[in-house]
Amino acid sequence: MPTQLLPGLISALAGPDSDAAIEAGLGVLREHGLVLSQQPTAATPQAWLVLRHGKRSLTFTVKAGSTPPDLPTREQVGLLLDLALRRAAEHDEARRTQERWDLLANASFEGVMIHVDGVIIELNQRFCELTGYSREELYSPEMLLRGIAPEDLSEAKTRIRNRVEGEFLVTLIRKDGTRFRAEFHTKQSQIGERPARIVALRDVTQRERTAALLRESEARLRQILEATFDNVVTLRDGVIIDIGGGASHFFGHPREIIVGRAVVDLVPPTARGLVAQRIHESVVGAYETLVISADDELVPVEVVSVMSTLDGEPVRVSGVRDLRAARKLEHERRQLALQVERSQRMDSLGVLAGGIAHDFNNLLVGVLGSAELLTQSLKDPNELALAETIRAAGESAAMLTRQILAYAGRGDVHAAELVDLSELCRELRGLLEAVLSKKAQIELALTPDCVTMGERSTLMQVMMNLLTNASDALEDKPGSIHVSTHRVASPDARWERALGATVGPGDWVMVRVQDSGVGMDAATQQRVFEPFFTTKPNGHGLGLGSCLGIVAAHGGAILVESARGRGSAFSVLLPATKTQSAAPRPSSPAQARACRVLIIDDEPLVRMHLRRLLSLRGFTVCDAADGRAGLEAVAKERPDLLLLDLNMPHLDGIELVRKLRAAGNPVPVVLCSGNLDLAVERGLTPGMVQSVLQKPFSTDELLIAIERAREP
């Protein structure tokens, strides 16, 4: 029996499955009367064999009625069973290890493989899922390299050949032909004596897409910043570490010089405290300050700051905007607002002046006309002196009215002629030598061909005002008055702040009157053209105001430049004309041709004066008190000429002329008004009337106007 036990036991324990082999071995032992039992006690038979393995023990006893094997057989059985148990334990441990490896590999979100020189020798299920290939397909030689996109294949071969470790990105091609972006993490190792590479594969398509979108977002943000700000400055602890934006420099400072400098070095001392405080306290938001340009110019800027991070470290990012253009636009807007305000003020004054001029000049027609007739008829010297005094006072009142109209920009420039401004200044010097300061040294620098189209008398008034003001500015002390004329094609930037017409490139004549007197401060310069503002004890404040109105009416502008204690300069710019020959001025006719005249005027004093004046010179005179009555009188009296007032009740002068011309009546018309600009505003066109006459007027001016209207 023992000789049969050992061969049967050895054969049973040699099976491939360790657990099944042990079970078969136990069956052989049972056949020979040896059974596995619990630990024997006093009531059980004595144990034949006890095996201990780890914390476990196996006890074999001899079945009743059986003969136990001898001692050598027992030792051999114990040795065989011990070896079988050890083999089973090793198989269990290997199985558990494999289970753990399979669990770890298959539960990984990354594909894991081991390859030797590009040939895969081991991989997990996730690797198959990512590539779409089966294990058997991936174990094929060169399969790894075939799955890499052609554009990345060269780099992959180089890394495998040189055994480079670390991370890199490649594009992989799945079995179905689709592509995805993958990240390889490689580690060089060994299997026995052979070098092997362990590779972890991760699908980073979404991550790369997110990164691409982030880069696009950053690019858009950068473009917005560059479009919004001139520079974007990044600071760390108050030191510039980066600069970007639309300009490659920081207000003229090259980038390589700016980076590494403290930002407070680029602001003037007066602004350093504010900038340093905001940086130190990490204040965010917008504020305005100054920076020093490369040309040492103080540049106003707006700074918008936020706190951020760069490489994990806190930084301060500030957008810097150049405010010079905005400040210029703001200044221009203020100047435009002032011009609009002044224009509105002048329009209001013009309406008032026009009303005053109409009524006042009607009165002056009677006053001056009657005074003129008196001077022609009186013989007594005392009475003649009184009449002359009345006439002089009336002329002064007429001049004051013209000044008010000129200030309001409603001066009469209808009687325009060619005026040589150089000759005008030369003529005025002789006329004013008795009036100007005896201590003033007058210097003339006059250029030929400085001709403009305008009214000589009003332009002479402008020059007289500028020269007398220059003389007064010397305050009876030695000084100089420099007068110059020259042609100008492109007025410089100073003329942007001039008053009057808008100035631009063209053909201009400039007259400049400069003195070495006391000068004016900024506040005085702002008010010097205002009506009734004067610095003279006996001035009425209409001189320079009327000058501005006259120049503006001529399409020109005035520029004043002055400083306290450094004198003043007044420059007048007028449109130039190439024609230099002037038409002859009409003179008073030796004998006016008498005719039948109809006077249409709503002012009784004017009608009475004109009737008396014309009757004395042989004219046949009739009159009407308003436009409607005048229209009826034209049909009834059939006059040779009309003396027509502009402003009348019921039917004004322009409407009356239109009705006459529409009816085909060619009667000559002399239009009389104290405000001829109003005639233009109401639609007076060339050919409607034959002559115009500004109230008040002299007898000679009236007769000249009548003769001009009657010319064929």
CB 518, CB 565: distance < 8 Å: yes
Record the pTM.
0.45
Q: What single string gives the DSSP state of each residue in 536-557?
A: STT--S-HHHHHHHHHHHTT-E
The span from the CA of 307 to the CA of 281, in Å, is 11
CB 8, CB 76: distance < 8 Å: no
Q: Where are the domains of the chain?
A: 2-104, 108-203, 209-322, 411-575, 596-710
Task: Tell me phi and psi for residue 308, to 5 degrees.
Answer: -150, -170
The span from the CA of 57 to the CA of 37, in Å, is 10
Position 486 scores a pLDDT of 92
Pick the CATH number of 209-322 from 3.30.70.260, 3.30.450.20, 3.30.450.30, 3.40.50.300: 3.30.450.20
The span from the CA of 419 to the CA of 453, in Å, is 6
CB 240, CB 223: distance < 8 Å: no
Q: Quick one: angle between helices 604-616 and 324-377, nearest 10?
A: 50
CATH architecture under which domain 411-575 falls = 2-Layer Sandwich (3.30)
Which superfamily is assigned to 596-710 in CATH? Response regulator (3.40.50.2300)
Position 582 scores a pLDDT of 44
Q: Which residues of the chain have pLDDT under 50?
A: 1, 42-44, 413-414, 580-588, 590
What is the SS3 assignment for 584?
coil
Residues whose CB is less than 8 angstroms from the CB of residue 5 and which lie 6 or more positions away in sequence, other chains included: 28, 29, 32, 69, 73, 77
Position 642 scores a pLDDT of 93
Position 364 scores a pLDDT of 75
CATH topology of domain 108-203: Beta-Lactamase (3.30.450)
Residues whose CB is less than 8 angstroms from the CB of residue 404 and which lie 6 or more positions away in sequence, other chains included: 349, 353, 356, 357, 531, 542, 546
DSSP category for residue 418:
E
What is the SS3 assignment for 450?
coil
Position 572 scores a pLDDT of 93
Q: Quick one: angle between helices 456-473 and 381-407, nearest 10?
A: 90
Letter for the amino acid at 102?
D
The span from the CA of 320 to the CA of 323, in Å, is 9
Residues whose CB is less than 8 angstroms from the CB of residue 25 and which lie 6 or more positions away in sequence, other chains included: 9, 12, 13, 80, 81, 84
Position 226 scores a pLDDT of 67
pLDDT digits (tens, 9 = 90+) for 350-407: 666 666 766 777 777 777 777 777 777 777 777 777 777 787 777 777 776 766 666 5
The owner of tokens 């109409």 is 358
Q: Do domains 108-203 and 209-322 have the same CATH topology?
A: yes
